[in-house]
Structures are given as structure tokens and as C-alpha cells.
Structure 1
Amino acid sequence: MKKVIMLLAFTAVTCSVYAQSSTFAMSGSRKEARKERHERKITLRELKSSEVSFQSKQAFDRDFDHTTNMVWTHDVYFDKVSFLNEKGMPMSAYYDYDAKLVGTTAPAKFTDLPVAAQKDIAKHFSNYEKAPVVFFDDNEANETDMILYGMQFEDADNYFIELKDKKNQPVVLRVDMLGNVEFFAEMSDIKF
């Protein structure tokens, strides 16, 4: 219930901010966007081990059926498994400190984005139709925030699209399920 209320509040704020401005979110200062994200940042619990946990592997086996080509990796905050799902499509699943699924990522297409976002991006960027798009599907049962492109964000389903801005600098935009588009990260800021 708490998550639903927070999501509704976040959506209301996002919609009102977007409605007040007829210009694209990129027109705002990137420094301001970074500062705002930093203030919202919640400390994630670091994984203690230097290897993928047995519990994460067990949880994956329970969460996903008929997968192939599993490749496990481990970083500071997540155990990650890249695999092919039952349809042969590539996906990745992320498990937190408690070996609980945080969410999954899968490649997407520009045409998968909400129509409002497609129009907004087409208005401000070129070569958008062939740009890499990733869909993050949040596990609503887990409150752990996610890190993608080196940036932490509140758990919610989102698309991420990699483009070049007017200065030809690579950037990542985040698109929510309502079609709101916002600057997410500069590719030069990303630490892998």
C-alpha cells in the first residue's frame, strides 16, 4: 500500500511538473537533475561476498522457468544473471542483498515507448529510431532501488534510451509508463 501511495504521489508530481513546462526535460540544467537525484538517493546494502550467492541462484531457479544460457556476475550491490527466456529473448535479472529479485531488464524498441514519449523524443533528437532501448521491469514486491547506467533510481517500470544530445554528447533518457521523458545520465558520467 505504501508503495502504491508513493507511486501515485511521484506520478502526480511528475505530471504537474511536466504540464507546467511545454519544453522538454533536457532544457533544464543537468547539474540540477544530478543534484536532485543525489538528494533522493537511498543507501543500498553492499553484498558481503565477492561471489554470486547460492541463495540468489536458488531464487532465480524459483523465479524463472525454461531459461537457457545463464551467465552470472556479481558487483557491489547486485547478483546479476543474464539469460535467454522461454521465448529465446535476452534478459537480465538482478538480486539484492537478501537474494530477492529487484527487477529485470530486456532490450526494447523505440516503438515500444509510449506514443507521447516517441513524439517528444522525435521532436528533440535525431537518429532516435535506431537508438538502444532497455526496459526495466520492477519487482513491486521488493522495495530495493535499482542502479542502471551507474545511477540509482527509485524502483518503477521504466524505459531507458541512449541518444546523443544537440552537442553530440551521449546521454540516457528515462521514460516512464505514462510517456514522461526526463534526462537520466550523461554517458560520460557512467561508471561500470
Structure 2
Amino acid sequence: MKKLMGLSAAIFFLAAAVNAQSSEASPTSEIKIDKEARASINKEKKEDRKALRKLKENEVSGRTEEAFISDFGNIPVTNWQRLDYFDEADFIKDGQAMSAFYDEDANLVGTATTKTFEDLPEQAQEYINKKYSDYNIGAVIFYDDNEQNQRNMELYNLQIDADSYFVELKKDNKEIVVQVTENGDVSYYTRLS
């Protein structure tokens, strides 16, 4: 009986030893885990900064107001607004309605100016009149990107990083936006409805 119990115990320990996994990790798997952990931490920090920015939703940064004066002079601002990730200043310059957008570091990201269809390059006007002849022309906006700031602005829920016109076109219940370069090249941008 003792031999049977001893044999059972030996088989049990042998099976446990065979099925046991090594707890040692290879150096490459440790590096991979470190990179994943670092990426996860960086992602959490970025999300925390965005959340903090949203918490201060109604407050426009004093630094942004100072930067605006530095960029545009002492022009009266008709409206300051905190967007999700930008401060926006609405103002009139040279008789044109404009908006300036600043990032969390109070650096100018770009400006948007209300324009007319006639402000577009002639080549673009001809193309739009021909290709979209059955559409009604709506708002025209010129976005002037600040090339010195790597941060991109969102317009119509898409990031933009180049100076361009944006033209809203409507037909029946369909509303689209086309992008026009300063050279007059026209391309489909997005659908609004």
C-alpha cells in the first residue's frame, strides 16, 4: 500500500513538472511589454489632457487672448468660444468675418474667413458650374493654415492642414462639400446630408 501511495505521489509530481511553464521571460518579450506599457501610458496621458481641456469648457485661456492681440493687433473680438480642443475668436478684419483658432498652448492653428463664390479661382468656378450645375451654391469658407504650427484643424469633422476653400453645395436633400486649392483644383471633400 505504501508503494502504491508513493508511486501515485511520484506520478503526480512528475505530471506537475511536465505541465509546469517556465516563468522566465525572454528579453524580447520584456521589451515588447515595455513598449506596450509606455504606449498605454502615453495614450492615457493624452486622454487625461483632453478630458482636462473639456472640463474647462467655458473658459478661454488668457494666454490665447494675449496671443490673439499679438497676432492680429487690438481688433475687437465679437465672440470668444471654447471648442472641444481649440479656442475660437470671431472678429471682423478689413470688412470680412473671420475666426481664429488657437491650440492648448495658445498657438495659432489657422483662420477661417467667409468668402463668396466669386472669390474662388476662375478655373474652380468653371469646374463647379459645369460638374455641379444642378446644385445650389451655399457657404464658401477659406481656411488659412498656420504652417508654423503642426497641429491640424478640423473642418466638417475632417482634419485639414493646407490653405483651401470649402464650398457647400446642395441638391434636394443631399448636401456636399468640395475642397478648392488656391490653384483652382477641385475635389470632393465630404457629405453633410
TM-score for the superposition, normalised by structure 1: 0.67
Structure 2 partner of 1:54: 62
Q: Judge conservation of contact 1:173–1:184 (CA < 8 Å) in 2.
A: yes
Where does residue 7 of structure 1 map in the other structure?
none
Which stretch has the larger CA shift, 127-136 or 89-98? Answer: 127-136
* Residue of structure 2 in register with 1:77 after alignment: 85
Counterpart in the other structure of 1:67: 75
User: How far apart are 1:125 and its partner, in Å?
Assistant: 1.6
Equivalent pairs counted in the alignment come to 143
Partner of 1:183: 188
TM-score, normalised with respect to structure 2: 0.66
Please say if residues 136 and 170 of structure 2, whose CA atoms lie closer than 8 Å, have aligned partners that are also in contact: no
Which 4+ runs in 1 deviate beyond 6 A? none
| Cα gap change, 1:114 to 1:54, in 2 (>3 Å) | same
1:135-184, Cα deviation, whole Å (9 max, x unpaired): 1111121111111122222x11100000025x650111111112111111
Matches within 5 A, 1:1-192: 46=50, 48=53, 49-50=56-57, 51-85=59-93, 87-126=94-133, 130-153=137-160, 155-165=161-171, 168-188=173-193
Code of the aligned partner of 1:150: N
Distance 1:168 1:149, change over 3 A: same
Question: Quick check: 1:107–1:134 contact (8 Å CA) kept in 2?
Answer: yes
Q: What percentage of aligned pairs have identical amino acids?
A: 43
Rg (Cα) greater in structure: 2
- Relative distance call for 1:107 and 1:128 in structure 2 (3 A) is farther
Distance 2:95 2:116 in 1: 17
Question: Which whole-Å CA distance do the structure 2 matches of 1:94 and 1:158 have between them?
Answer: 16
- Structure with the bigger RCO (C-alpha within 8 Å, sep 6+) is 1
RMSD across aligned C-alpha pairs, in angstroms?
A: 2.3
Would you say the 8 A contact 2:109–2:153 is kept in 1? yes
Residue aligned with 2:187, SS: strand
Give CA deviations for 1:56-106 in whole Å, capped at 9, x if unaligned: 111001111242243111111110010112x23211000012110011111
